[in-house]
Amino acid sequence: MSLGFPPGELFEADFETAINNLIALDIFPAIAIGNEGAGTLRAPGINARSWSVGAVDRSGQIASFSGGKTVTRRLDRIQPDMVALV
């Protein structure tokens, strides 16, 4: 899933409900972390119960457009959780 709203924006509570519903249905919530570059995150990928996905290039370096950073919550602090080769 790739939507890309800034964290704290409209619909964040709806994303929480949607992710919980996906999990309840045994659907793995893999969600893009954003395409605005390092130090940025997007909702719903920032949600602690989703698996956020970023990107790396063929040399294993973070893709220039891929979001990601360390967040302030106690658990699941480093985002994204996984990356895809682009």
Q: H or E segment at 31?
A: strand 30-32
Write the single-letter amino acid at 63.
Answer: A
Write the single-letter amino acid at 21.
Answer: N
The domain locations on the chain are 12-85
d(CA 59, CA 76): 26
pLDDT single digits (tens) 13-67: 788 898 999 999 999 999 888 888 888 888 888 888 888 899 989 998 889 999 8
* pLDDT at 10 > cutoff 70: no
This prediction's pTM: 0.75
> Other CB atoms closer than 10 Å to residue 65's CB: what's the count?
14
Between 17 and 78, the more confident residue is: 17
> Other CB atoms closer than 10 Å to residue 46's CB: what's the count?
25
Encoded tokens for 38: 């390092």
| Closest listed residue to residue 67, CA positions, set 77, 79, 76 | 79
